[in-house]
A and B are shown apart, each in its own frame.
Chain A
Amino acid sequence: MHQPEEFRRGLVAFIGTHREELTPPYSGHGTTDEILAHQRNVQRLLFDHGWMRWGWPAAVGGLGGTPLCRAVLGEELTSRGFVHSAAWSMPEVLAPAVVQFAAPALAAEVMPPLLRGDEQWCQGFSEPDAGSDLGSLRTVARPDGDHWIVNGQKVWTSWAHHSTRCIVLARTEKHEPGARGISAFFVDMDSPGVDVRPLRTMAGVDEFCEMFFDDVRVPSARMLGERGRGWAVTQHILACERGAIFWQRAGWLLHHLGEAARHCPPDRPVAQYRLGNAYADVIALRARSRATQRRVAAGDLAMADSSIDKVLIATADQSTFDAARTALAGVVELDDSDLADRFRKEWLYSRAATIYGGTSEIQRDIIGFRILDLPREA
């Protein structure tokens, strides 16, 4: 059961007999509450039948097998519109780092509720003055016996207002500049001193938040990885983010391209031309991501190389929803139907594809310096 194709065949058969429970109860884009509530139900169902556990080690409640199973699971769900791609990605962003860097007892305690959908986690990285320049972050943690005291501010934290835990980057070595003095912590969101304020995206969705940490006490056992080596945790998270998550995102894009094609009149060559080009972008992304994932599954996490995948997915994301907007001929701009609501919010969300998870400019710098070995400035 650990080979991706065998896994996929079994999963597709399962989906065929559980279509009703997997289909969202809402007909438009869904509110954040609706999307996350449905996802919890889907995760519980898939966990109880084992599908959610393949590709994770037994020590954290998994059933073993290749991590490629997780990519296949995400793809089969997003490509049918059963779950929302952005929300589905969050466990996949954070859990691999917990499995890799948390103390074994902690990982064994917190992973099953995450996979079962009982918990939502979030990622406390960016700060008002530390976006692309993440290494300059100013949230600090100072030791206090067997605890750390965290103070600072985070921003753009997706689903923080629905989350029970957060992976927080904080500076623990104040004399070490940049990335070297940072540690990673696994913080309970109900700790005293954590304050969350939702922000509204331009799509009208309350997806991300500001977070404030005011003398938040975190047990030392909640540090992920070694003290001052939080950057390694960050790199691991970003590398994982570019494996299974990109694959399920590509499934989500094909799902929307197919739907846009169904709504496209046959006599609109302008829309067909754009759909063809967007499809080519998604296929190029899939081709590249497929090769990357096989390398990741073989244990080869090449961080710089995955910047290529990141630029490809941002391009494919935006061209998909641009083409869909053309094919839907005025629906996104003028209509108030469920179809319009979904494509409008997705099109608006896609504007951020070249920004979130490391901007396309940062990716091009990484490719330029680390792959093409171009000289540094000055």
Chain B
Amino acid sequence: MDATQIAIAERVAEEQRHHKKAQFLWVWAALLVMTGIEVYLTYQNMAPAKMLTILMGLSLIKAALIIGFFMHLRYEISRMKWITMCSVVACLILMTIFFFPDAHRIITLGVK
């Protein structure tokens, strides 16, 4: 790495020294609890569409916790946060639009 990159890496490392260990333990515990809730809900005989919605909702919360805290995106500058997340979400939305007729079938016919 050149001097500029080393200086930036040093600044990033300095910022990370202030992150608290307890916060990561809480996130880990929350992720485990949500996984437990998912497994519990699996055996509650819910309608598949309702279960899918709840499970995907919980997965999105878990993903946000991992990206925000473990991957440190929460601590990045807003330009970094917006460009990375918006581009991925836009591509995934495009995939959803491409598969819309089938996505629509989930709502109207239910998951088989």
A and B interact: no
**Which residues in A have some Cβ–Cβ distance to B below 8 Å?**
none
**Which residues in B have some Cβ–Cβ distance to A below 8 Å?**
none
